[in-house]
Amino acid sequence: MSTLLYGSIPKTAVCFGSFEFFKAQLVDERNILSTFNSFVSGFGAGVVESVIVTTPMETMKVKLINDRRSEKPKFRGMFHAARIILQTEGFRGIYMGLTPTLMRQCSNHAIRFPIMETFKNYYRGDDPTRKPPKWMTAVFGCLAGASAVIANTPIDTLKTRMQGLEAAKYKSTWDCVQKIYQNEGKLAFYKGMVPRLIRLSLQAGVIFTVYDVYSEAIDKLDDKLKGNTINS
């Protein structure tokens, strides 16, 4: 849990920060982001997030979980695990599974963000200032999260295998695909989909709703500060 907690804060910050950066470059004159441009922005956010935060965090999480299940755990915690992995495997050990992580996060955000932006654009209609109620944002956030999980669970399975304690037996992402298919069959790529669907659907609903709440609060504070500056 500590790894998830430490990683979720920078992960979400980098994800939404990079998405807003790409969005600012691609919105039209009415400040509306098209479905295609939201796909591009989401894909870009997935790349930035994967390289900076997600791959190291996910590697640590998977290795710690597998270590806890072994007969003789060797990691005392996240920072101890990071030190041991860096000493024994170098940075490659921290960045194992970068390719499937990139594929998963890029597909995640390239699905989630277009769904949310399309929903917001539809709700706005001809009024760009109109905002959906929070319960509706939460519902569509859950739907966006569920859609991403259904689409990329096989990629997540690859990522998890390549970041586990037995990752060394896979020469590459393609080698991992072949070995799972040959030894376990195609349904093995969908192992764990139901709990992942529940977790990430709720997670997306919460994150998109909370992000909207904070964004509105910051906009109001910004307007207030601008008003005070003008008055002074």
DSSP string, the chain: -HHHHHHHHHHHHHHHHHHHHHHHHH--TTS---HHHHHHHHHHHHHHHIIIIIHHHHHHHHHHHHHHHSSS---SSHHHHHHHHHHHH-HHHHTTTHHHHHHHHHHHHHHHHHHHHHHHHHHHTT-TT----HHHHHHHHHHHHHHHHHHHHHHHHHHHHHHSTTGGG-SSHHHHHHHHHHHH-GGGGGTTHHHHHHHHHHHHHHHHHHHHHHHHHHHHHHHHHHHHHHH-
Per-range mean pLDDT, top range of 26-30, 54-58, 144-148: 144-148
pLDDT at 26 > cutoff 90:
yes
- pLDDT of the residue at 231: 64
The CA distance from 163 to 58, in Å, is 8
Among the ranges given (38-47, 81-90, 178-187, 212-221), the one the predictor scored with the smallest mean pLDDT: 81-90
pLDDT bin (cut points 50, 70, 90) of residue 3 is low
**Mean pLDDT of the 169-173 span:** 81
Question: pLDDT (tens digit, 9 = 90+) per residue, 130-151?
Answer: 888 999 999 999 999 999 999 8
Average pLDDT, whole number, for the chain?
Answer: 86
The number of distinct structural domains making up the chain is 1
Mean pLDDT of 185-202: 91
pLDDT band at 122 (very low <50, low <70, confident <90, very high): confident
What's the angle, vertex CA 105, arms to CA 123 and CA 115, rounded to 5? 15
The whole domain housing 30 covers: 1-96
Residue 40 lies in a domain: yes
pLDDT band at 160, cuts 50/70/90?
confident
The answer to whether residue 195 sits within a structural domain is no
pLDDT at residue 164 above 80?
no
Q: Do the domain assignments include residue 222? A: no
Model-level pTM? 0.79
Could you tell me if residue 118 is inside a domain?
A: no
Residue 83 lies in a domain: yes
